[in-house]
Structure 1
Amino acid sequence: MGLTIGIDVGGTKIAAGVVDEHGAIIARTHRDTPADSVDATAAAICDAAAELIANHAVEAVGIGAAGFVSSDRSTVLFAPNLAWRDEPLGARVAKELKIPVVVENDANAAAWGEFAFGAAKDVEHMVCITVGTGIGGGVVIDGELLRGAHGVAAELGHMRVVPGGHRCGCGSRGCFEQYASGKALVREGRAQAESGSLAAVQMLSVCGITDAAELTGPMITDAAVQGDPCAVELLDDLGRWLGEGVASLATIFDPTLVVIGGGVSAAKDLIMKSAVQAFEKVLPAKANRPHAPFTLAELGNDAGLIGAADLARRPAVSR
């Protein structure tokens, strides 16, 4: 199959692009996401795709959507930040565009992008962790995307790591993303500042703010890159949680490679070093088990778009 379109549907923006068989984006467009309207969101997706189809010989469309996607890769069962509930998005868009459409979870699509064209393009088994406000990710085993019986496997951010821990947006307590995400980073940074920690007050100064409520994840990352001790410590703690969680995932999936992406990964060695150290320390049977190396993702914000486009040309990949 030749050219396909990848569409990454976010809470505020719909990014679309024409992608060739080598993973190169040759044309782009975008639309705002009318997140509170199912009909308006579908119309915006179709409008963006139609613009690209008008100028390129496109054979299929792949849509990356945040939420649970059915095993037939067509229906969005639930989306936390959009109005989709049992929404037959794939059939709806295909009917309008008169072209095959595949729908995939956005984190799965991003993981596939890294597997097919990015940091994991030379392996057959990988775990991809996307560390942003929350934690997303995907798993590839024997060159196939793991989707599970109902299409909702690999919700890595909601693996429980602390019984009775912090309440998560999913309703449970102690989920992985409550300890190893941008949300966790900000929570801990604000808590330190509000406790009167002089080191945290100094960090706020480096960030150019005085009110802890204004603190953000990118601010902490930038402060750490500048060498602020409190910010460095916060990222070190996040990296430790990340590494310990990945150690548990490694015992289940036995990956060749662990790929770390998302906004927090901009800290690079400030998070990767502590993540690898924690992983090596707590990995079960570590003396007798191969240790998967860690690497940073390569495709950035385009991973989901590229991955969705490629999955549209690979109907046998996800089952």
Structure 2
Amino acid sequence: MLTVGVDVGGTSVRAGVVDRRGTILDTARVGTPSGAEALNDAIVSVISSLTARHAISAVGLAVAGFVATDLKTVMFAPHLAWRRADVADRISRKLDLPVVLEHDANAAALAEYRYGAARGAKVATLIAIGTGIGGGLLLDGKIFRGAHGVAPELGHLRVVPNGRPCSCGKSGCWERYCSGTALSATAIELLAGHPGQSTVLAREAAGDARSITGRKVAGAARDGDPVALRAMAELARWLGEGLALVADIYDPEVIVIAGGVSESAPLFLDDARELYRDLVTGSGYRPLARIRTAQLGDDAGLVGAATLARDVANGRH
């Protein structure tokens, strides 16, 4: 039974044919258009290119946004054009296939539970660290979505009162201190506080501070740049703080670190684990969560969406 998973991102729409083992057999990609109807058409187009080559039974979309508990409606997606949009029904009618939606972090968590780093865990949390932070929670293999479909919004836990402003409208959110965007902001703050430093990042910032991306900071840290290393240490600190909060709330068996920033895990994860052990309530008197990096990488959301579509089609959801 083959299904299609679609990772609907702010820059591209990536679809893949997935079998029951979680293996991706074929892929297709298009750019993400700006309008809601144009986005629907792009998704239909990329899926149709796969259904022309494979017998597909159902489709799942992984969306960076609030998905209603009916798994059909996108209530809000900050980087996409949908607002209270009945996305699943519209696309289903055009494809003549059943379509379900899921928050991208939830989809990634499901994939890691079935096929990857969280396999078989009774309580598993996924923290996707990229431009921001996404979170997923699985209880006995079931996705926990909250009463209205928006849980768990871990990236917007407020960790610093009156801290850095966040695009969500609050200030001091966890993702403003622990993400690729945060890594860039921290490096720029460090450079501004110590002008005249002769480092790779200082030379880069002299041209245009906006060119300092999280990816560039991570690369400079690998090369031993002192400012980049300090920025990475700050990210490790805030990751450790957040992991302790997550463990205090959920008491998970495993926490999976996913997202683009996880590719640089050797630079920060050991320090974050150590701080987590120090800060979690009852440390030394309780079992601690295993903290692991994701095994499926960028494919997790796509595979998870396809897996959910298969579950729904088989009556397992």
For normalisation by structure 2, the TM-score amounts to 0.95
* Deviation, structure 1 residue 174: 1.5
Contact 2:191 2:227 in 1 (8 A): no
Q: Distance in 1 between matches of 2:230 and 2:70?
A: 44
Q: Equivalent of 1:309, from 283, 306, 311?
A: 306
Q: Distance in 1 between matches of 2:129 and 2:238?
A: 12
Cα deviation per residue 1:132-169 (whole Å; 9 max; x = unaligned)? 11111211111111111111111110111122222111
Q: Equivalent of 1:53, from 36, 48, 51?
A: 51
1:104-183 residue pairs with structure 2 within 5 A?
104-183=102-181
Contact 1:224 1:267 in 2 (8 A): no
Matched, 1:258 2:266: no
Matched, 1:294 2:291: yes
**Could you say which residue in structure 1 is the equivalent of 2:234?**
237
How many correspondences in the alignment?
315
Contact 1:207 1:219 in 2 (8 A): no
**Could you say which residue in structure 2 is the equivalent of 1:83?**
81
SS in 1 for 2:163: coil
* Deviation, structure 1 residue 20: 0.3
Q: Distance in 2 between matches of 1:40 and 1:274?
A: 45
The alignment yields a C-alpha RMSD, in angstroms, of 1.7
Cα deviation per residue 1:237-282 (whole Å; 9 max; x = unaligned)? 1011011111111111111111111121222221101210110111
**Could you say which residue in structure 1 is the equivalent of 2:3?**
4
SS in 2 for 1:172: coil
Q: Distance in 2 between matches of 1:33 and 1:79?
A: 13
Distance 1:192 1:295, change over 3 A: same
Q: Which residue identity lines up with residue 256 of structure 2 in the other structure?
A: V
Contact 1:311 1:317 in 2 (8 A): no
* Deviation, structure 1 residue 211: 3.5
Contact 1:193 1:212 in 2 (8 A): no
Distance 1:131 1:206, change over 3 A: farther
Contact 1:120 1:257 in 2 (8 A): yes
**Could you say which residue in structure 1 is the equivalent of 2:21?**
22
Q: Distance in 1 between matches of 2:120 and 2:39?
A: 36
Cα deviation per residue 1:72-99 (whole Å; 9 max; x = unaligned)? 0000001101111110001111111111
* Deviation, structure 1 residue 209: 6.8
Contact 2:120 2:141 in 1 (8 A): no
* Deviation, structure 1 residue 196: 3.5
Q: Which residue identity lines up with residue 82 of structure 2 in the other structure?
A: W
Identity across the alignment (%): 45
Contact 1:108 1:137 in 2 (8 A): yes
SS in 1 for 2:298: helix
Q: Distance in 1 between matches of 2:137 and 2:63?
A: 17
* Deviation, structure 1 residue 113: 1.6
Matched, 1:222 2:219: yes
Q: Which residue identity lines up with residue 14 of structure 2 in the other structure?
A: A
* Deviation, structure 1 residue 210: 4.4
SS in 2 for 1:314: helix
Q: Distance in 2 between matches of 1:207 and 1:289?
A: 46
**Could you say which residue in structure 2 is the equivalent of 1:204?**
201
| Residue ranges of structure 1 left out of the alignment (5+ in a row) | none
Contact 2:205 2:211 in 1 (8 A): no
